[in-house]
A = this chain, B = another copy of it.
Amino acid sequence: MNSRENKPGEAAPAASPRHRPERAHPVTLRDVAEAAGVSTATVSLVVNKKKDARIAEETRQRVKDAIRALGYRPNAMAKTLVSGTSRFIGLVADGVATTPFAGQIIHGAQDEAWKHGYALLIANTEGNRELEQDAISMMLEYKVRGILYSTWFHRETDIPASLREADFVLVNCFAAEPGARAVVPDEVQGGKSATEILLRHGHRRIAFINATIPAPAKDGRLLGYRQALEEAGIAFDPGLVMEAYPDQEGGYGATGELLKRSATAVYCYNDRMAMGLYDGLREHGLSIPEDLAVVGFDNQEVIAAHLRPPLSTVALPHYELGAAGVRMLLGLEETAGAEAAKIHCPTVERNSVRVAARAKT
């Protein structure tokens, strides 16, 4: 049935100009063995650089030459078949590839996986349950070393049944059930850090525009704010916290309310709100940071770094989440207790906070 025309041994001089180099690379271990006049076992040993196996230097060289001459490539599938587990790590995401900054989860996972000799197999499920199921099945069938199950924003999730057939860790999400390994951003510390930037610059009346929609981030960032105030010996004033939809329009819309509070600084739930707030403040003829200092959250590069003035904020450690997820999967990171591991959210200072405006109330 096979209708290849090249007489074996002939170099097949550039058959079709483009398209598949379909000469099907039939160069196998055996071919190399024959060419070098040794057995396949020997070739296997030199290919895998087994330290213990003592091969005559002369033989080794002969094999290496043959490999080069024939353009041999090991067949990873055969290798995996024998060993039983591949060098793949699966990453199923409900939308990280879609959303701007969370692509960093992929990036971090990929770098870390690579570092340990693993390749990333990704599947974007866009939240589609069925697709997700298929993706996990596929990964299982390809004998992945384990699966990273990630979400594009920090939230609780349930664990698809088939996921349990593999070694897995949740990334940027967590499950109610104890024992499921997970890594998430440390929202509380982040909120605390954000507030502390302001505190450090002498502000005492600091407003917080929180999100309206429930999420671990909403609770955590508020808690961090309160902790920071408390440690600074400032009483928590509920009147200083507002809520708005967490995007530019929400931030813009909150301007009026905010100004009634006569705060000297404001900490926004995220950078997008801060961006809207910038516009609102400008319309009121107010300038940042002189009239009001502002800090955001997320460190959404395109926005934060290029607002005028550039926005001080706290970064969501997406890259680290991906990397830590891989490390945890591979058992390189200690799994502390039953809790999800919390990744530190670093502070990024720019110019939207400088001197305390009319500080000291």
Contact string, A96-111, partner B, CB cutoff 8 A, digits 1/0? 1111110110110011
Say whether B121 contacts A120, CB under 8 Å. yes
Partner pick for A98 among B25, B86, B104, B303, CB 8 A cutoff: B104
Contacts of A354 in B (CB 8 A): none
Say whether A20 contacts B167, CB under 8 Å. yes
| A56 CB to nearest chain B CB (Å) | 27
| A146 CB to nearest chain B CB (Å) | 8
Contacts of A275 in B (CB 8 A): 306
In the complex, A30 has a CB within 8 A of chain B: no
Q: Which of A81, A101, A249 has the most CB of B within 10 A?
A: A81
In A49-74, which residues have CB < 8 Å from any B CB? 71, 73-74
Say whether B77 contacts A142, CB under 8 Å. yes
A106: nearest residue on chain B (CB-CB)? Answer: B97
- Known contacts A98-B107, A106-B122, A121-B119; A138/B276 CB under 8 A: no
Partner pick for A76 among B97, B114, B143, CB 8 A cutoff: B143
Say whether A110 contacts B137, CB under 8 Å. no
A180 to B17, CA, bound (A): 9
| A152 CB to nearest chain B CB (Å) | 11
In the complex, A165 has a CB within 8 A of chain B: yes
Say whether B306 contacts A247, CB under 8 Å. yes
| A2 CB to nearest chain B CB (Å) | 11
In the complex, A4 has a CB within 8 A of chain B: no
In A232-254, which residues have CB < 8 Å from any B CB? 247-249, 252
| A317 CB to nearest chain B CB (Å) | 15
In A73-100, which residues have CB < 8 Å from any B CB? 73-78, 80-81, 84, 86, 96-100
In A1-52, which residues have CB < 8 Å from any B CB? 17-21, 24-25
A168 to B143, CA, bound (A): 26
| A196 CB to nearest chain B CB (Å) | 26
In the complex, A279 has a CB within 8 A of chain B: yes
In the complex, A301 has a CB within 8 A of chain B: yes
A194 to B303, CA, bound (A): 23
Contact string, A308-350, partner B, CB cutoff 8 A, digits 1/0? 1000000000000000000000010001000000000000000
A356 to B242, CA, bound (A): 40
Say whether B97 contacts A86, CB under 8 Å. no
A249: nearest residue on chain B (CB-CB)? Answer: B306
| A271 CB to nearest chain B CB (Å) | 9
Say whether A302 contacts B21, CB under 8 Å. no
Say whether B124 contacts A111, CB under 8 Å. yes
In A127-153, which residues have CB < 8 Å from any B CB? 131, 135, 137-138, 140-143, 146
A111: nearest residue on chain B (CB-CB)? Answer: B124
Contacts of A137 in B (CB 8 A): 73
A20 to B165, CA, bound (A): 9
Contacts of A21 in B (CB 8 A): 164-167
Q: 28 A-B pairs, CB-CB below 8 angstroms?
A: A17-B179, A18-B180, A20-B146, A20-B167, A21-B164, A21-B166, A24-B84, A71-B165, A75-B81, A75-B143, A76-B138, A78-B81, A81-B81, A97-B103, A98-B104, A99-B103, A100-B101, A100-B103, A103-B106, A111-B124, A114-B123, A114-B131, A119-B142, A120-B121, A122-B122, A247-B306, A249-B306, A272-B302
